[in-house]
């Protein structure tokens, strides 16, 4: 895409409010981050990922958010789900807080806790220029785009091969979506799509406790509901005719995501090390930590707040000490 094309891209335009979001049940235990950070010991990869992404966000004046996911993940119809499902609740909450006239062009980048932006000098506009075709931004009506996904290639199947991606589906030819990397527009359409995805836990419960959990349910949603498939895309480089593979070292992208599944923690740590997770030095950082309620109230449109403090600043010093600030909302930039 040429610079002229980028300059005339329809909304959301470059320079719109931008938020980086991560979610994990282990973010509820910030005291363990203090112990692993201090004394020169290693930081567990999920906290290292949070640190790397928070520092990247601060460098470029983006907002960084962490969501503490309750265990177990509770669905109002399907009951208990695998914890990873509750990332959809975090996304619904974040999009709802940014959906409105003042933030109509707001974008959110969701990264799993085993994913990070690399190198930190690169701005998000790089991805918007290279991996979002102009036609995707320009789409209107039933084809307007709500969510973009990283690409799951070279893996075309899940659950050890029993769930295969069908490239003949609407908007499926670029490759299978990976929900460890998602770019969302803060709109009512995105919230509705998240509700439809969340509802798959009741409509297609086979994935509620089976790997790849909510991602396999997304593939089912893409297959079964063409109206929503029209609003979803995989990030894609038109010039190279290739989707943005975030988990394939043979096709590096600005986002590094180490495939989880059944990978032992030590092997994942080693791979993240080799790909640059711990190359950003020891520096102080901060974020906004939000705790989700244990029970979903309205099918995914928003999250009912717990009675205790729902959100507060989390500060980590260069030496590794963790401090929680006063209780206050995580306000959009």
Q: What is the mean pLDDT of residues 68-96?
A: 94
Name which of 99-108, 256-265, 280-289 the model is least confident about: 99-108
Q: Is the pLDDT of residue 150 over 60?
A: yes
Among candidate residues 167, 181, 299, the one with its CA nearest the CA of residue 229: 167
Looking at per-residue pLDDT, the higher value among 239 and 328 belongs to 239
Q: Is the pLDDT of residue 29 over 80?
A: yes
Domains of the chain: 16-327 (3.90.550.10)
Q: What would the pLDDT profile of 314-325 be if each residue is shown by its tens digit?
A: 998 877 778 888
Q: What is the pLDDT of residue 21?
A: 97
Q: What is the pTM of this model?
A: 0.90
67 and 27 Cβ atoms separated by less than 8 Å? yes
CA distance linking residue 41 with residue 185, whole number of Å:
38
Q: Is 90 helix (H, G, I), strand (E, B) or coil?
A: helix
Q: Is the pLDDT of residue 119 over 70?
A: yes
Q: What would the pLDDT profile of 285-314 be if each residue is shown by its tens digit?
A: 999 999 887 654 444 433 444 446 888 999
Mean pLDDT of the chain, nearest integer: 84
CA distance linking residue 143 with residue 274, whole number of Å:
40
Q: What would the pLDDT profile of 257-277 be if each residue is shown by its tens digit?
A: 987 666 777 788 788 888 888
Q: Is the pLDDT of residue 5 over 70?
A: no
229, with CB counted inside 10 A (0-12, 13-18, 19+), is middle
Q: What is the pLDDT of residue 329?
A: 80
Positions of E strands within 188-241: 232-234, 236-237
> Which range, 35-49, 132-146, 181-195, has the best average confidence (pLDDT)?
181-195
Among candidate residues 242, 233, 187, the one with its CA nearest the CA of residue 16: 187
């Amino acid at each position: 895409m040429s610079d002229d094309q980028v300059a005339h891209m329809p909304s959301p335009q470059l320079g719109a409010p931008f938020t980086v979001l991560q979610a994990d049940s282990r973010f509820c235990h910030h005291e363990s981050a203090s112990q692993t950070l201090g004394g020169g010991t290693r930081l567990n990869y999920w906290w290292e990922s949070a640190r790397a992404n928070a520092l990247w966000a601060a460098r470029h004046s983006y907002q960084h958010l962490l969501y503490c996911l309750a265990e177990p993940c509770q669905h109002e119809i399907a009951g208990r789900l695998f914890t990873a499902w509750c990332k959809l609740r975090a996304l619904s909450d974040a999009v709802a807080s940014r959906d409105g006239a003042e933030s109509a062009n707001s974008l959110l980048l969701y990264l799993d806790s085993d994913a990070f932006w690399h190198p930190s000098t690169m701005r998000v506009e790089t991805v918007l220029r290279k991996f979002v075709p102009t036609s995707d931004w320009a789409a209107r009506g039933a084809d307007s785009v709500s969510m973009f996904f990283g690409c799951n290639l070279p893996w075309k199947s899940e659950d050890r091969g029993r769930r295969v991606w069908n490239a003949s589906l609407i908007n499926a030819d670029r490759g299978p979506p990976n929900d460890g990397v998602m770019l969302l527009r803060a709109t009512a359409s995105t919230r509705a799509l998240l509700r439809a995805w969340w509802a798959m836990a009741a409509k297609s419960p086979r994935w509620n406790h089976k790997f790849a959990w909510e991602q396999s349910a997304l593939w089912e949603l893409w297959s079964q509901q063409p109206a929503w498939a029209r609003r979803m895309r995989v990030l894609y480089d038109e010039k190279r005719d290739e989707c943005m593979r975030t988990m394939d070292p043979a096709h590096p992208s600005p986002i590094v995501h180490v495939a989880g599944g059944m990978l032992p923690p030590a092997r994942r740590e080693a791979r993240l090390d080799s790909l640059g997770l711990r190359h950003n030095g020891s520096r102080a950082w901060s974020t906004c930590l939000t705790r989700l309620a244990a029970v979903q109230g309205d099918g995914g449109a928003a999250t009912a707040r717990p009675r205790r403090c729902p959100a507060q600043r989390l500060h980590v010093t260069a030496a590794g000490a963790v401090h929680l600030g006063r209780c206050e909302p995580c306000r959009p930039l």
